[in-house]
Amino acid sequence: MPLPDANNYSMRIYELLKETDLENLSYAQFQGVAEKLFIEPENEDEMRRLVLVQLARMAVRGDWDGFLTGGGGSAAPTDAEYVVMALNGTLTNERKLTAGSRISITDGGAGGNVTIAADASPVTSLVAGTNVTLSPVSGLGDVTVNAASSPVTSLVAGTNITLDPVSGLGDVTITAATPTGLAPDDASYLTLGLDGDLSNERVLTAGTGISFTDTGPNGTLTIESTGGGGGSGYQPVLPDRDGSFPASNRELYLVSCMPPWGNTQSSSTSSTTASNNPYFRPFISPVTGTVTEIQVNVNSASDTPDYTIGIYSDSGGLPNSKITEGTISISSTGVLALTSFTGTPALVAGTQYHFAWVRKDTSGAGNFTAESADTCFKYSPVSQTFPNLTSIGNSGAVVALSSGSPNALPATVSTGNLNPFSNNPIRFGLRWD
């Protein structure tokens, strides 16, 4: 049906747009036809047909919003290069906004904001590692990463090592071969110290009267006796407690009366051994074992300083290192037994030791039963200008420290301070229970 008061045929609008359907009629095509139409009364019918075509086009394409906003402004073109959040079927040339590497997009929805943000920790530069070079070396911009000129290309098995695969390429398993010709680690070796790689070794340890001199790897280990022999050149054999004696006769050994340094006289003297410096007298141990008791005899309890008595090892016939000591408190007369010791009095049968004594303070002299120096074997040398060999006296029955270590037994004896004396050595006995 034609428009009212209009010709049935349009020479311009329909002729220019014929064979174009409304779905594919673009705004640019429509604009090209409309913009050349002069606004004159004789063109009224053409303008009405133009509006009719546009209305029909908008109805088909869904472009009505353009007529409802902006007070009648023209609709947006559908083929413009829009940036959109999602592709739209009406638009023909839009681009979808998409987040690239290290970029995030937050869509606030219709009427909201679209926020584009960088990652919290973006890469700002590259640093070349082992066997890698960068160009440029700053690692900024367009960076080329190159392997170094001599990268590892394969692995080669060394001694006692196997590779799987043998080429050393790819995922490689490295296995240590079982060694041959090596000493076992669980043998009962005798060593100078514990070793974490051995499981059954024993440490060679010096006991009483024994010393080690180790000169180090590829050197020598010298084992020496430090307590026996003295200068006599022989060691007498004394009966020990495992002999054929009755048990009641095996308990106390009167060592100060046994050979070679004991007294052969049964008589004794009341000895006042008042000295602030230690005295020493040698003896040979008849028993191998730990001494449990040292016995002495007190003649008078009226003069009562405490005494320290002890046992020393021997070196070259002279007292050397303190093995044990204890304190005798003279509180009564008769036999006093010392059973508490500092240090372990472990002795070896046939080995020479030295008995030592000194008062701990100067409050009294102390009166012990002692061996007579007149009947004791001489122990130490005397001056070469000894006045008269026809009467030699009792000098040399004991030796004493002439200086140092007042009222105490030293840990080691300074032999340069030893001198012979004529004091009567204390009579003593030892027990090994």
Q: Which of 365, 358, 361, 362 is nearest to 302 (CA)?
A: 365
Q: What's the Cα-to-Cα distance from 82 to each of 25, 110, 281, 412, rounded to whole Å?
A: 19, 16, 119, 105
Give the number of other Cβ atoms within 10 Å of residue 423's Cβ: 21
Q: And the tokens for 269?
A: 């003297």
Q: And the tokens for 134?
A: 């960068």
Q: Which of 269, 283, 258 is nearest to 398 (CA)?
A: 283
Residue labelled with tokens 């070469």: 384
**pLDDT value, residue 280:** 94
Residues 6+ apart with CB under 8 A from 180: none
CATH of domain 247-431: 2.60.120
> How far apart are alpha carbons 336 and 330 in whole angstroms?
8
Q: And the tokens for 258?
A: 């046994």
**pLDDT value, residue 230:** 42
Which residues does residue 426 pair with via DSSP β-bridges, in sequence order?
A: 370
Q: Which of 366, 362, 345 is nearest to 354 (CA)?
A: 345
**pLDDT value, residue 308:** 93
Helix pair 44-61, 27-34: axis angle to 10 deg = 170
Give the residue extent of every domain in the chain: 1-100, 190-225, 247-431
Give the number of other Cβ atoms within 10 Å of residue 285's Cβ: 28
Per-residue pLDDT of the chain (433 residues; tens, 9 = 90+): 455 665 655 667 776 776 677 777 777 777 777 766 767 776 777 777 778 777 877 777 666 554 444 444 456 788 888 888 888 878 888 888 898 877 888 988 888 888 888 776 666 777 877 777 878 877 677 778 777 666 667 788 888 788 888 777 778 888 887 767 677 888 888 888 888 788 888 888 887 668 777 878 888 888 876 544 444 445 566 665 555 556 555 578 889 888 888 887 777 776 666 778 899 999 999 888 899 999 999 888 877 778 999 999 999 889 999 999 999 988 888 999 999 999 999 999 889 999 999 988 877 777 888 988 888 888 777 766 666 776 676 777 888 887 766 889 999 998 888 888 888 899 999 998 7
178 burial type by CB count under 10 A (0-12 exposed, 13-18 middle, 19+ buried): exposed
Q: And the tokens for 364?
A: 């009294």
Torsion sign (Cα): 75, 80, 84, 87: positive
> How far apart are alpha carbons 262 and 371 in whole angstroms?
8
Whether 64 contacts 58, CB under 8 Å:
yes
Q: For the chain, how many residues are written? A: 433
